Structure 1
Amino acid sequence: MKTVIEPFRIKMVEPIQFSNRSQREQRLQAAGLNLFRLKAEDVIIDLLTDSGTGAMSAEAWAALMRGDESYAGARSWYRFERAVQEIFGFPQVIPTHQGRAAERLFASVMVRSGLVVPNNTHFDTTRANIEAVGGRAVDLPCADARDLALEVPFKGDMDISALEHLIANVGADRIPVILLTVTNNSGGGQPVSMANIRAVSKLAHIHRIPFYIDACRFAENAYFIQQQEAGYDAMSVREIVQEMFNYADGCLMSAKKDAFANIGGFLCTRDEQLAEEWRRLLILTEGFPTYGGLAGRDLEAIAVGLQEVLDEDYLRYRIRSTQYVADQLHKIGIPTVRPAGGHAVYIDARRFLPHIEPLQYPGQSLAVELYLEAGIRSVEVGTVMFGRDAHTGIESPAKWDLLRLAIPRRVYTRSHMDYVIEAIAQIWQRRESICGLKIVSEPPYLRHFSARFDWIPVSG
């Protein structure tokens, strides 16, 4: 069959509260034109993030009832630890309440002032946690990633030549760890090839630099490898996952993505001494090492979700669903990052709104307009998120200005996505009338979460 259907039935529904444009204008103005500051009930279709917003299965809900809430050594912890070890292959597992808590522990122990951490592309909280301890986060995306419209696979790869050059110039002793994010979220949700994982691992180990994978969307990345990389079509996704992590010294993960959980994360390593350092800090900031800030029921849900996400029927549906939205927008002529990634569709806001300068935030302007048009919440990945240097405070245009439509797992149907496509098409027809924005207040870190904006009136 050519038609790919959802590999599940819908057992429970949640009502959506509709609104008109006048109501949305009032709510957005009160929120300072920042969609993070809106009430969730005031959003019709929420594509702000795929983190913690997925629908859990009947099996995961049943697992919640098995949750052992003992402070130390709970049964739920051992089920969680066993699931992580079986899938990822690392002996040391440290639970955290979410991904950025894992990033905080990771950076606090491994990074210090003046050190450099390369990645294919750091995401916002990863970068912020590295910079908060005085490190410098360096992005080394592959050459193909520079052309957002280029239709080639594995645009999430790291530039190996650039990594070699960085190590030669900076010195291996000033690089405490090499990170690789799969899939490459800030780079348009693009997957990373096994060949690239292998090459990064080889270079890291030649120079005795630890190599870690940011594993938030590991299963989606493995499915792309199975479908697109030579030599992997006969392997199962589970086998591909195990090979991916066999090349690494450890990983960090937000379980709110590919584990279907509403909360949770973890760190893994082969280094027992490093794990003990993380556990000591974990006790100070998160909780005892057998719960790490999580309830036993959440540990149970993650253990189930990590197994479910390896279901290839689900992954086929997931990737095809995202591709459907991207392809429909592409047919209309709307500039998107090509090819479609796994968890989100990315619109090239600079090409969508060429009359708005990068320092007037075209990505944020488009996000605001999409909410006003149809009550759809999305997020800017561009100059608001990445344009200000954390050390100097100087602002400059980011590499690109994107609008990310992150699709929650097992939540929205095709008709919901058709509504999104129709709304974007209507905005496309009147794009010249959209104004840029200016920031009127902002915090020192991660400003996109809480900054307030105002319109820049069109001159003339």
Structure 2
Amino acid sequence: MELPYAEPYKIKMTEPIRPSTRAEREQWIREAKYNLFKLRSEQVTIDLLTDSGTGSMSDRQWAAMMTGDESYAGASSYFRLKEMVGKLFDMPYFLPTHQGRAAENVLFSAILKEGDIVPGNSHFDTTKGHIEFRRCHAVDCTIDAAADTQLEIPFKGEMDLGKLEKILKENPKEKIPCVVLTITNNTAGGQPVSMRNIRETSELCHRYGVPVLFDSARFAENAYFIKTREEGYADKSIKEIVREIYSYADMMTISAKKDGVVNMGGFVAMHSEELYRKVMQYSIMFEGYLTYGGMSGRDMDALAVGLDENTEFAQLDARIRQVKLLGDLLDDYGVPYQRPAGGHAIFIDAKKILPNLPKEEFIAQTLGIELYLEAGIRGVEIGSILADRDPETHENRYPKLELLRLAIPRRVYTDNHIRVIAAACRNIYERRESITSGYKITFETPILRHFTVELEPVKK
């Protein structure tokens, strides 16, 4: 008999989960103005809001924190992290930041000016927010196949080279400070990008004299999919694949709270010394001195170890197997999601579950509230609320996809938790016809409204 799969780690510490009743959850979500972000953590049974900073660190990472050097300038922790960044990404110029959006802030402050165009494969929320805050234009060039949630192709998050070249042809390179390639493509459902597409995107951009920026939050998961799905990479290590990926990049930003498996941290890195000198003034202004940039020494040491550990196949395999388990269970129950299962999350197709709900009533948010009421499970809407309003017309933007993202924290929940999540989704799917109304906005901010938006039920 072939032995079943077992995770390549054992659990050393646990944290209690407080169960709740439906009546309690109804009161709590009402008090939170129907915004899942505003729930207190103890009001949540299984928290799938994000995999960002919510993973469980290893014993090596905790041990590394004890060696953290908290010197203001020239800390040894900085140089250990810099060495790891050099080994993995071959980027000689590097600035730590407290998280990914901070990395975007310091970089975009240096390279974006009003009216610029920034093409990409589905910019995620903070990326688009930083671009539009500067009165620039984020243009989505994701392949059309990403909008068909039931289509199964191995690399569904790719850049459409035809769409991208049209923009590069029609605009002077001075108007396009960079092209953003997001790996994996979060907005499209945690879908990966092939090495072929990475290489061809880079070649196309360089042909037009435009640099390429990699949004790298889940770079290791993308490398895993290249190894397991793309011809010619099965015998390469994750670290070898990562090195090749970044040979096609001019610069990178990263929220290290994902594939770095730390609670806080990020960085911006690049090949150009000239660009580094432009960016570092904003790093000092917004983040801190060059050798800590918003991170403590202990966090930099934990990140250096996390980057090393999480670019090994076994760790990634265990993590992505758990996401796939949720997808397989949803297949058994007939619940539609963005196929194939992504690297960090399952993205439930809210439009297919609630087809009669009008888009103006925020379909994915409605489904997210239903899941919380059903079982205390917190996901996040990737749909019309997250899409914000058009900065020029101020009309709501309604994307092709209305998705409820269930992001699985690394090494936090067991497979039994995954089974509870799947069963709760099944219960909602079976009573979907009883969900006949959604929500309307009573308060919102101009940018990144989904974090603080307030809603109330639509009465019919």
Give the TM bin, normalised by the shorter chain: over 0.9
Which consecutive segments of 4 or more residues in structure 1 shift more than 4 A?
A: none
**What amino acid maps onto 1:336 in structure 2?**
Y
Q: Distance in 2 between matches of 1:73 and 1:325?
A: 45
The answer on 1:421 being equivalent to 2:422 is yes
**What amino acid maps onto 2:447 in structure 1?**
Y
SS of residue matched to 1:126: helix
**What amino acid maps onto 2:314 in structure 1?**
D
Deviation at 1:394, TM superposition (A): 1.3
Query: Do the aligned partners of 1:4 and 1:320 also contact (CA within 8 Å) in 2?
Result: no
The answer on 1:304 being equivalent to 2:299 is no
Q: Distance in 2 between matches of 1:108 and 1:391?
A: 21
TM-score by length of 1: 0.98
Cα deviation digits, residues 110-151 of structure 1 (max 9, x gap): 111111001111000000001111110011111321211101
Task: Give the corresponding residue for 2:440.
Answer: 438
Deviation at 1:2, TM superposition (A): 6.4
State, as a whole percentage, how many aligned pairs show the same letter: 48
Query: Do the aligned partners of 1:96 and 1:291 also contact (CA within 8 Å) in 2?
Result: yes
Query: Do the aligned partners of 2:147 and 2:188 also contact (CA within 8 Å) in 1?
Result: no
Q: Which residues in structure 2 correspond to 1:24-63 (within 5 Å)? A: 24-63=25-64
Q: Distance in 2 between matches of 1:445 and 1:205?
A: 32
Deviation at 1:315, TM superposition (A): 1.2
Cα deviation digits, residues 264-321 of structure 1 (max 9, x gap): 0000101111111211111111100000011100000100000010121111111111
Q: Distance in 1 between matches of 2:113 and 2:353?
A: 40
Task: Give the corresponding residue for 2:399.
Answer: 398
Query: Do the aligned partners of 1:97 and 1:293 also contact (CA within 8 Å) in 2?
Result: yes
**What amino acid maps onto 2:439 in structure 1?**
L
**What amino acid maps onto 2:410 in structure 1?**
R
Aligned residues: 458
Task: Give the corresponding residue for 2:170.
Answer: 169
**What amino acid maps onto 1:446 in structure 2?**
L
Range that drifts further, 421-430 or 165-174 = 165-174
Cα deviation digits, residues 141-179 of structure 1 (max 9, x gap): 113212111011100110001111111122322111011
Query: Do the aligned partners of 2:388 and 2:449 also contact (CA within 8 Å) in 1?
Result: no
Query: Do the aligned partners of 1:217 and 1:257 also contact (CA within 8 Å) in 2?
Result: yes
Cα deviation digits, residues 49-108 of structure 1 (max 9, x gap): 000000000000001100110000011110011111110110001100000000111211
Q: Distance in 2 between matches of 1:396 and 1:305?
A: 37
Task: Give the corresponding residue for 1:223.
Answer: 224
Q: Distance in 2 between matches of 1:423 and 1:301?
A: 35
Query: Do the aligned partners of 1:359 and 1:396 also contact (CA within 8 Å) in 2?
Result: no
Task: Give the corresponding residue for 2:130.
Answer: 129
Deviation at 1:390, TM superposition (A): 2.6
SS of residue matched to 1:385: coil
Query: Do the aligned partners of 1:49 and 1:408 also contact (CA within 8 Å) in 2?
Result: yes
Deviation at 1:357, TM superposition (A): 1.1
Query: Do the aligned partners of 1:52 and 1:256 also contact (CA within 8 Å) in 2?
Result: yes
Task: Give the corresponding residue for 2:349.
Answer: 348
Structure 2, gaps ≥5 residues long: none
Q: Which residues in structure 2 correspond to 1:34-433 (within 5 Å)? A: 34-433=35-434
Q: Distance in 2 between matches of 1:257 and 1:101?
A: 15
The answer on 1:455 being equivalent to 2:457 is yes
Range that drifts further, 328-337 or 58-67 = 328-337
Q: Distance in 1 between matches of 2:250 and 2:445?
A: 35
Q: Distance in 2 between matches of 1:353 and 1:330?
A: 18
**What amino acid maps onto 2:31 in structure 1?**
A
**What amino acid maps onto 2:146 in structure 1?**
A
Query: Do the aligned partners of 2:380 and 2:406 also contact (CA within 8 Å) in 1?
Result: yes
